[in-house]
Amino acid sequence: MTLKECYAALEGDYESVLSRLMTERLVQKFALKFLDDASFNNLVKNMSESNWDDAFRDAHTLKGVCQNLSFTKLFSSSSLMTEALRDGNTEEAAKILSQVKADYDQTVSAIKELTAL
Amino acid sequence: MSGVDKHRQKVLIVDDSEMNRNILSEILGGEYDIIEAENGAEAVNILRKESVNISLVLLDIVMPVMDGYGVLAVMNSRHWIDDVPVIMISSDNSVSSMRRAYELGITEFISRPFDALIVRHRVVNTIMLYAKQKRLVGMVADQIYEKEKDSSLMINILSHIVEFRNGESGMHVLNVQMFTEILLRQLVRQTDKYNISKADISLIGKASSLHDIGKISVPDHILNKPGRLTPEEFEIMKNHSVAGASMLEELTLYQDEPLVKIAYQICRWHHERYDGRGYPDGLKGEEIPISAQIVALADVYDALTSERVYKKAFSHEKSMEMIMNGECGCFNPLLLECLKAASEAIEKVKAHNSDENEKQRENLALELMKYEELSASEETLRLLDYERMKNDFFASVSNELHFEYTTSPSMISLYPNNSNMLDISELIAYPVDDERLTSIISMDEIKKLGILLKHTSPDSPVVSYDCKACLNNEIHNINIICRSVWNSKSEFCGAVGKAADLGIA
């Protein structure tokens, strides 16, 4: 799978990320690094333990990373999550979490296809 | 920037996401040395140690432990923000948060998702701008310093010529200048009725050197006559005040110069008396300009405490007594109060200046004092860096634990060897909530110490506190000595201190 195809599979904006980070090498390097990023796992953990402040920061970090990498789909669900937690709306956040999980899985499996090359 | 620079500039990247830090270092790493911090407290700790060496900070807002605004608050309170530019990177580009960041002193605001080229351009531009500004500030400061030094020197040479003819030591001019400035500073503390600024003090001080230039017109045999002057001779002697003033008046080109105006007042009226019985014009009370009143008092004090052809030197105490009793003229009661209040400082200056060896050192200190209003130039930062290195060294070779505490944000910082010894982080944000710290000293003890510190005053700023601490699983007696610190607005803002282990309890 090419990097462009990977972005299509995770529903991201390849053109945008390429223009901002300038080279395909860099985009690929950081896309792969996303697999090691802990913010999603921390988010799930802190949500299950009702650590709302920490969960907010995790969602915020995840959102920021997705934004930088133009992972559009995961960015939009993690943004919703961030805003719900910022407003202290934990019930709403818990609902959105399943969407974030689904988008995260979609993103990660697309990137793993990239490593399979 | 050229690639041959031996010392590459350092950029501090503060972001809790490793990904984001990596992306930024990838973008900038080719041109700059990168230091990373994963939260605000870490960033503050790095800045504390090497703010001098950091050319720029890239700062995220939302972070654990201490957020970006917290970092900016510390950078403001420590004045690092004056020399280290900050670019904030955030996805929260609402007007209110951007405004808040700009108000806290950031240089640029970059919104996420950022564009690599734009980040690079802004970083390069900001660093160049600050470097250029630092160079310019340094150049201006140096030039002002040189210019001031030269003009003070010229005035001193000129007035020393007069003194020299008089057969007196050249110290008189310098003493009168220093007493004048001390008395003026005291006067400003006691009343604002004369509306005297810092610049006025330095100007009057400078002009005071010229108070006796009119003596040039007095013939040698009168000026240096050891015995009593005849009435005719005394009239000629007295004429020096008018003579000095008219010499200044004839400088037609410079009549609007503040220095000339003030020097005129001083020359003409430094022998007037507050009761109106002085010369040449018999001015009374506040008719005599304050500059001349002050120099007259400074002149009399120095004349009394110095040896002259016609008299021995009187002691400080005797001279003060003679002035207060009205034996040496009549002065503004308010100025006499100032003289009393500044008596100790004046006596000290006199004692120092009598010692020729001390003279040059004193001059230098005086010279430096005048520049306190100039902003901290790089040299001052280097000095600070040196002080920090010194402190770190002493802390590292001492068995005691040295620390600094600030109230906002609530933070304790330790020196590296101390923190290693105790296996605790160098920078402890919100100490009462810190698990490791409270496992060594109980939260109660920390709070009690905090309350004692808050109740100190600038007159008795030191607190000595005995308590127990858990070290290596054993209870020890420890003694903590702290000194409170107040900021420029006299608000309590923290403490410095050390803790000594007194052994197992």
Cβ separation B62–A68 shorter than 8 A: no
Is A65's Cβ below 8 Å from some Cβ in B?
A: yes
pLDDT at B3 over 50: no
As a whole number of Å, the end-to-end CA separation of chain A is 7
Among candidate residues B298, B296, B332, the one with its CA nearest the CA of residue B194: B332
Contact A67/B at CB under 8 A? yes
Determine contact: A25 vs chain B, CB below 8 A: no
When CB atoms are compared, the residue of A22, A37, A60 closest to B117 is A22
Q: What is the pLDDT averaged over residues B442-467?
A: 88
Q: What's the confidence (pLDDT) of residue B51?
A: 79
| A54/B contact by beta carbon, under 8 A | yes
- Nearest CB to B19 within list A17, A26, A37: A37
Considering the domain architecture, whether residues B89 and B214 belong to the same structural domain is answered as: no
A61 in contact with B at a CB cutoff of 8 Å? yes
Mean pLDDT across the stretch A67-89? 94
Give the up-direction half-sphere exposure of residue B182: CA atoms within 13 A in the CB hemisphere: 25
**Taking a C-beta distance cutoff of 8 angstroms, is the pair B195, B220 a contact?**
no
Is residue B155 included in any domain, yes or no? yes
Residues B438 and B318 placed together within one structural domain of the fold: no
In angstroms, the separation between the Cα of residue B415 and the nearest Cα of chain A is 29
Q: Do A29 and B26 touch (CB under 8 A)?
A: yes
Asked whether the beta carbons of residue A30 and residue B19 sit closer than 8 angstroms, the reply is: yes
pLDDT of B83 > 50? The answer is yes
Looking at residue B169, its pLDDT comes to 57
Higher pLDDT, B367 or B18: B18
Q: Assess if residue B382 is contained within a domain.
A: yes
Taking CB atoms and an 8 Å limit, are B17 and A64 in contact across chains?
yes
Q: B317 with B356, same domain?
A: yes
**Domain range enclosing B94:** 10-114
Residue B124 falls inside a structural domain = no
Do B363 and B382 lie in one domain? The reply is: no
More confident residue, B6 or A7: A7
Average pLDDT of the segment spanning B362-375: 46
Taking an 8 Å cut-off on Cβ atoms, the answer to whether A20 and B116 are in contact is yes
Tell me the residues of B at the A interface, defined by beta carbons under 8 Å apart.
Answer: 16-20, 22-23, 26-27, 60, 62-64, 91, 112-117
Q: ipTM score of the complex?
A: 0.80
> pLDDT of B317-326, one tens digit each?
999 999 999 9
Most confident of A34-48, B111-125, B382-396: A34-48
Q: Is B157 in the same domain as B220? A: yes
Query: Of A73, A75, A45, A78, which Cα lies nearest the Cα of A59?
Result: A78
**Counting one residue from A and one from B, how many pairs have CB atoms under 8 Å apart?**
56
Q: Do B112 and A20 touch (CB under 8 A)?
A: no
Residue B187 pLDDT > 60: yes
Q: Has residue B133 been placed in a domain? A: no
Q: Would you say residue B34 lies in a domain?
A: yes
Is pLDDT above 70 for B370? no
Interface test with B, best of A60, A62, A86 (most B CBs within 10 A): A60
CA-nearest residue of chain B to A25? B26
CA distance A21 to chain B (A): 5
In terms of domains, do B382 and B413 share one?
yes
Looking at per-residue pLDDT, the higher value among B410 and B16 belongs to B16
Say whether residue A52 is in contact with chain B using an 8 A CB cutoff: no
Please report which confidence band the pLDDT of residue B382 belongs to, taking 50, 70 and 90 as the band edges: low
Evaluate if residue B403 carries a pLDDT over 90.
no
- The answer, yes or no, to whether residue A74 has pLDDT greater than 50, is yes
Q: What is the mean pLDDT of chain B?
A: 84
The arithmetic mean of pLDDT across residues A49-77, rounded, is 93
The residue with greater pLDDT, B10 or B29, is: B10
Please check whether residue A63 touches B, CB under 8 A: yes
Mean pLDDT of B401-411: 83
**B280 contacts B246 by C-beta, under 8 angstroms:** no
Task: Name the domain boundary from B368, B395, B410.
Answer: B368
Domain boundary among B348, B368, B388: B368
Q: Is A64 on the interface with B (CB under 8 A)?
A: yes
pLDDT recorded at residue B44: 93
Indicate whether B128 belongs to any domain.
no
Instruction: Give the model's confidence band at B167: pLDDT under 50 very low, under 70 low, under 90 confident, else very high.
Output: low
Nearest to B115 among A20, A26, A33 (CB): A20
Q: What is the pLDDT of residue B368?
A: 45
Mean local confidence (pLDDT), B56-74: 92
pLDDT for the residue B401: 83
Phi, psi of B7 (to 5 degrees): -100, 105
**A21/B116 CB distance under 8 A:** yes
Contacting residues of B for A60, CB less than 8 Å apart: 62
- Which CATH number belongs to the domain containing residue B77 in this structure? 3.40.50.2300
Residues B336 and B417 in one domain: no
- At B334 the pLDDT is 95
Angle between helices B343-354 and B316-324 (to 10 degrees): 140
The per-residue pLDDT for B237 is 93
B187 and B330 together in one domain: yes
Is B31 contained in some domain?
A: yes
B239 and B338 co-located in one domain: yes
Taking residues A65-89, report their average pLDDT.
94
Average pLDDT of the segment spanning B395-423: 78
What pLDDT is stored for residue B311 in this prediction?
A: 80
Same structural domain, B486 and B387: yes
- Residue A100 pLDDT exceeds 70: yes
How many domains is chain B built from?
3
pLDDT in tens, B324-358: 999 999 999 999 999 999 999 899 888 877 654 34
Q: Where do the structural domains in chain A lie, given as residue ranges?
A: 3-115
Report which of residues A24 and B425 the model is more confident about: A24
CATH code: domain of residue B488: 3.30.450.20
Residues 6 or more apart in contact with residue B418 via CB below 8 angstroms: B395, B401, B402, B403
Strand partners, B110: B89
State yes or no: pLDDT of B503 exceeds 80: yes
Residue A102 in contact with partner chain B when CB distance is under 8 A:
no
| Tally of CA atoms within 13 A in the half-sphere of B228 that contains its CB | 2
Report chain A residues whose CB lies below 8 A from the CB of B28: none
Could you give phi then psi for residue A98, rounded to 5 degrees? -65, -35
Verify that B84 and B49 share a domain, yes or no.
yes
Residue B489 dihedral angles phi and psi, to the nearest 5°: -95, 15
What is the per-residue pLDDT for B383? 63
Residues of A in contact with B114 (CB under 8 A): 20, 68
How far is the C-alpha of A57 from the C-alpha of B12, rounded, in Å? 21
Residue B148 has pLDDT above 80, yes or no: no
Q: Does B426 fall in a domain?
A: yes
Instruction: Write the CATH number for B315.
Output: 1.10.3210.10
pLDDT in the model for residue B355: 58
Residues in B touching A64 (Cβ below 8 Å): 17, 20, 60, 91, 112
User: Which residues does residue B308 pair with via DSSP β-bridges, in sequence order?
Assistant: B311
Q: Are A30 and B112 an interchain contact pair (Cβ–Cβ within 8 Å)?
A: no
Q: How far apart, in whole angstroms, are the C-alpha atoms of residue A37 and residue A16?
A: 21
Residue B379 has pLDDT above 80, yes or no: no
* Domain stop point among B310, B338, B368: B368
Q: How confident is the model at residue B364 (pLDDT cuts 50, 70, 90)?
A: very low
**Among residues of chain B, what percentage have pLDDT more than 90?**
38
Indicate whether B27 and B93 sit together in one domain: yes
Give how far B426 is from chain A: nearest CA, Å: 23
Percent of chain B scored above 70 by pLDDT? Answer: 90
Pick from B15, B16, B17 the residue to mutate for testing the A interface (most A CBs within 10 Å). B17
For A3-115, the fitting CATH number among 1.10.3720.10, 3.40.640.10, 1.20.120.160, 1.25.40.10 is: 1.20.120.160
Three-state SS letters, A90-111: HHHHHHHHHHHHHHHHHHHHHH
Secondary structure (H, E, C), B293-319:
HHHHHHHHHHHHHCCECCECCCCHHHH
Q: What is the mean pLDDT of residues B266-272?
A: 96
Phi, psi of B472, deg, nearest 5: 50, 45
Using CA atoms, how far residue B25 sits from B20, B37, B207, B356, in Å, is 9, 12, 58, 59
